[in-house]
Amino acid sequence: MTPATALDQRSSKQLLTIQYLRGVASVMVVLHHIRNPWPNLYNPLERFAMGEAGVDIFFIISGVVMYVSSRIETPAVFAGLRLIRVAPLYWILTLCAASLLLMSGGAKPGFALVNDVMLSAMFFPHHSSIFQGTIWPVLNPGWTLYFEMFFYLIFTIGLFFRKPLLISLGLISLLVALGLVVSTDESIFHSYTHPLLMYTHPLMLEFAAGIVLGWLFLNEKIPNVWLLLPVGFVTLFAVHALQLPHLYLLNGLCAALIMLGAVAAERSFKIRDIGWLRLLGDASYSIYLTHALTLFVFRRLFLRLPVEGVLQFASFAILAATASLAVGFVVYFKVERPMTRWLRSRFLTVFAVERGRAGRRLRETGAAVTVAQPAGE
């Protein structure tokens, strides 16, 4: 076995529950955006936004994955692999989004659009000239990547000082505490005086929760609370059905319960490897990034059909969800997977020595546990 593959041993245990939840979370987000209040489309579920919690699940997964699989990486290897994992596909789809907006009249050619594209590509939060009143990038689901890249930066700092758990938790706590002082608005997209203040939002705590879960898992301190997995989903459904206040906080709490139950299940049971569900997790990143483009095109085509009311909504939801998943899988197999594998192989060839040392440190800790990463971190 070469040093470049030392951390990817098949004998290592994969956290299959997390891989499955990746796929579930991506489908939740797709369904959430399908039920958005589209003009001229009937929508009986406009106020039922349970699917938005898919993002919260993704954020906690990020923390778990980073700590479990990358806590002994060198900062350069960690940062390089994460950039390869996230950026190339996002850059390609950002250009696709800009092209669609230009062709549809949603954006005008000029400096403002070029500025939006450049800042979006650099993962730099900015007031959008396309989506007025937001801090969205050109590919609007990419707002979560603003957070992801910031999580990577924080974790890289922790790796540099060889204390990823302590430093990550400390920095996030300080930022969220600062946020309590500078803003009381619960929205990350409105009313902040500067886009960078989004990094003081309580959403940052979800990444911290994931890191803590990863530490608890590796140190075998997870209690046998696997029932929290279904309980978390039932609670999430209930709080949205009842339209309780502060849903953005309740989403995070329910996501934490779900993830705690999922990680506990890994310690309590032998999780069955379900191929199609694992594949859904593999393709979750492609599904997540492409679904907004698919819905953008699909909605315009669907408005031409002579259907109204409940039939219109039901047929749109089924067909749009099917199309979003289909496009996501095509992009995963034809673009994301081959491109990421090629870039990783080139990168790890350069850093083979560092990767080998990391593999030896991992084996010395006696914690040969990996998390499947093709569709996540």
Render pLDDT for 278-298 as a digit per residue (tens, 0 to 9).
999 999 999 999 999 999 988
Question: Number of C-alpha atoms within 13 angstroms, CB side, residue 267?
Answer: 19
- Please report, for residues 212, 214, 287, 351, the alpha-carbon distance to residue 165 in angstroms, rounded to integers and kept in the order given: 8, 10, 30, 24
Q: Which residue has the tokens 């778990």?
A: 64
State yes or no: pLDDT of 363 exceeds 70: no
d(CA 246, CA 237): 14
Q: What is the CA radius of gyration of the chain?
A: 21
Q: Residue 369: beta bridge partners?
A: 13
Q: Are 367 and 8 in contact (CB under 8 A)?
A: no
d(CA 226, CA 260): 7
Please state the separation of Cα 82 from the chain's center in Å: 13
State yes or no: pLDDT of 365 exceeds 60: no
Render pLDDT for 236-254 as a digit per residue (tens, 0 to 9).
999 999 989 888 889 999 9
Residues in the chain: 377
Please state the separation of Cα 67 from the chain's center in Å: 16
- Would you place residue 121 in the very low, low, confident or very high pLDDT band (cuts 50, 70, 90)? very high
* pTM summary value: 0.88
Rounded (5°) CA angle 255-37-232: 15
Q: Residue 14: beta bridge partners?
A: 370
Choose among 190, 90, 66: nearest CA to 140. 90
